Amino acid sequence: MGQPHGIGIIGLGVISRQYLETLAGLESVRIVATADLDPGRAAAVAAEIPGCRALTVDELLADPAVDTVINLTIPAAHAEIALAALAHGKDVYGEKPLAATFTQAKAMMDAAGDHWVGGAPDTVLGTGIQTARAAVEAGDIGRPVSAVATWVSGGHESWHPHPDFYYRDGGGPLFDMGPYYLTSLVHLLGPVARVSGSSSRTRDTRRIGSGPRAGEIIPVEIDTHVTGVLEHSSGALSTVTFSFDAVGTTAAPIEVHGEEGSLSVPDPNTFAGEVRLRRRGEPEWTRLHDAGGYVGAGRGIGVIDQVRDGEGRASGEVALHVLEIMTALTDSAHTGRRVTLSTTARLPSVVPLTPQEEWRR
C-alpha cells in the first residue's frame, strides 16, 4: 500500500472542525499541515493530529508533503489561495462558493491544467441526495417536470460570532446556502440553461447576537431574500427561494415532481435523511431505502471520493456552474432580464451505496 494522500488545510474557522472529524484517522489520506491567519489556532489543531505541522500559508503551499490543499478561508480569499495552490502544483478543494465572483472562479478552472479542482458542497454525495437521484434515474417519478427548493432563516448573525462576510459580496442566503440546494438540483435534474431572479433586503444593518462582539451593529451590503426560476437543459423547471428575512417554514427542503410521481428530498446541508416517494394513484408517501451515497459521510468526503477512485464527483466543473447560476440569479434580479448561462456541467455518476467501513479504508 502506498503512502497516504497528504492534506493541508488552510483556514481553521467554524467549519474546519467538521472536516477534521471526517479526515482525521483515515488510512487513505493524512492531514500533514495546517495554516491560519491566527498561528495559535493552526498550532492548536496541529497538536491534535499525529504528524501534523502548523505552518504559514506560504510554507504549506510549498510543502512537498501536501498533495491537496483544502481551502476553508472566507469567500473573498478563495480564489487567491486556490490559484496559489495550483501554481505550486497542488490539487485544491475549496469551501463554497468556489470563489467570490464568477470571473475569479473561471480563472481558477482555467489555471487548473492537469490538477484537480473540487468544490463544496459534498453533502450531495451522501445517502440523501444520491438516493433521490437514483430514484429519478430509475424512472420512479417518470419524466421529471419541476422542482421546488426552499431555505429560509432570520440570518446567521444570531449564532455566528463573526458574521460580517455573510452580508458582503460572496455571502448572503444565496451564496451561503444556495450551493447546497442548487448543486442538488443539478445532480437531480441536470445542468441549467437560463435563470430568472428577483431579490430584496429588509434592512441595511444587522446586530450580532452571540460571542465577543454581541450587540455590535454590522452593515448589510447585499440582498437578503432571493427567489428565482431555473430552466434546466432537460426542460424541467426549478423554483428556488433563499432568505435571511424569514422566521421559518414548513416546506420540504426540496421536492422533485415528475409525470408519474413526486419525491420529498431531505435537507441538502446534511448527508443523509429520509427520501419519500409518492406515485400517481397512491394515497400515501413511501420512504425509500438508501440506494446510493457514502453512508455516515461528513464534510471532506468529496476529497476522499477523488482519492479513492479519481472520479472527483465534487468537481470544480459543477461548482463553477452553480456559481454562475447564483451570479446569474443576482444579475437577473438587478436587471429584470432572463439570463442565459455560459457554462454547463457533466453529471458525475451516482455514488454506489458505500458503507462507512469501506470509504474509511
pLDDT of residue 75: 87
Mean pLDDT of 187-212: 97
Read off the pLDDT of residues 73-127 as tens digits, 9 standing for 90 and up: 988 899 999 999 999 999 999 999 999 899 999 999 999 999 999 999 999 999 9
What mean pLDDT do residues 309-322 have?
A: 95
pTM of the shown model: 0.95
Give pLDDT, residue 309. 83
- How confident is the model over 207-220, as a mean pLDDT? 96
Strands 192-200 and 339-340: antiparallel
| Residue 165 pLDDT | 87
pLDDT at position 292 is 98
Q: What is the mean pLDDT of residues 271-288?
A: 97
Query: What's residue 290's pLDDT?
Result: 98
Respond yes or no on whether the N-terminal peptide bond of residue 355 is cis (omega within 30° of 0): no
Cβ-proximal residues to 92 (8 Å cutoff; 6+ apart), any chain: 68, 69, 70, 71, 81, 82, 85, 86, 115, 116, 117, 118
Residues 286, 135: contact at Cβ < 8 Å? Answer: no
Each residue of 139-186: pLDDT tens digit? 999 999 999 999 999 999 999 999 998 999 878 999 999 999 999 999
Q: What confidence score (pLDDT) does residue 283 get?
A: 94
Tell me what pLDDT residue 3 has. 87
Contact 10/72 with Cβ under 8 angstroms? yes
Where does the pLDDT of residue 48 fall: very low under 50, low under 70, confident under 90, or very high at 90 and above?
Answer: very high
Q: What is the pLDDT of residue 250?
A: 95
pLDDT of residue 189: 98
Q: Determine the pLDDT at residue 205.
A: 97
Residue in the block written with cell 486556490: 82
pLDDT, residue 170, reads 75
Q: What is the pLDDT of residue 310?
A: 87
Which grid coordinates are listed for 117? 479542482
Per-residue confidence (pLDDT) for residue 346, from 0 to 100: 94
- Of the listed ranges 113-122, 215-224, 292-301, 304-313, the one predicted with least confidence: 304-313
Question: 227, 204, 235, 199: which is closest to 217 by C-alpha?
Answer: 204
Structural contact between residues 7 and 66, judged by C-beta atoms closer than 8 angstroms: yes
CA distance 228 to 239: 6
E strand spans, 167-313:
192-200, 205-207, 217-219, 225-232, 237-243, 254-258, 261-265, 276-279, 286-287
The pLDDT assigned to 311 comes to 87
Please provide the average confidence, as pLDDT, over all residues in the chain.
96
The full set of domains in the chain, from first to last, is: 5-119 (3.40.50.720), 123-340 (3.30.360.10)
Query: Which cell is 228 given?
Result: 428565482
Quote the percentage of the chain above a pLDDT of 90. Answer: 94
| Cβ–Cβ under 8 Å, residues 81 and 73 | yes
pLDDT at 1 over 60: no
pLDDT grade for 223, boundaries at 50, 70 and 90: very high
